[in-house]
Amino acid sequence: MSGAVDDYPRTLAEFERRFATPDACRAYLAQLRWPDGFRCPKCGGTKSWPVGPLFECAACGRQTSVTAGTIFQDTRTPLPTWFRAMWWVASQKTGASAIGLQQVLGLGSYETAWTWLHKLRRAMVRPGRDRLTGRVEVDEAYIGGVEERASAGDRPRKRP
């Protein structure tokens, strides 16, 4: 099994250290997307090398982003900020508010915070747990809660 859950941070301080950089966040997303190692969505190849933030298939050259098809796709917001937002939303037992999110992340506008909150709520299948093990399902990527995949059953993969 993947270590994604076992070594998942238990405190906010651990969390921020663990996901301090976009690379660290991407590595985590990659681990969740490909628990058994890289798999090319085009040819099924299992060898890849990094090209900037992308994984390039050694067999066919197809470049894959771990954020493709997720709520992180095309965002200009750094991944560590998204990750912090998810931690925070998941940890609000009484329900997260847009105002709270705006304050915690220092977002410029209430509208942005509101949009984020709703994106995150849509993506998080089981919010409101004391740490981010609630499964955040963003197409094929999951933040936390990998152990629930077995019981929920894998959905069929979408064809590109």
List contacts with Zn ion (CB under 5 A): 40, 42-43, 45, 57, 59-60, 62
Between residues 42 and 121, which has the closer beta carbon with respect to Zn ion? 42
Q: How far is the CB of 49 from Zn ion (least distance, A)?
A: 12
Between residues 60 and 152, which has the closer beta carbon with respect to Zn ion? 60
Between residues 59 and 68, which has the closer beta carbon with respect to Zn ion? 59
CB 54 within 8 A of CB 44: no
Cα–Cα dist 5/17, whole Å: 16
Q: How far is the CB of 36 from Zn ion (least distance, A)?
A: 16
Nearest to 71 by CA among 143, 123, 26: 123
CB 12 within 8 A of CB 86: no
Q: How far is the CB of 50 from Zn ion (least distance, A)?
A: 15
Nearest to 116 by CA among 146, 88, 158: 88
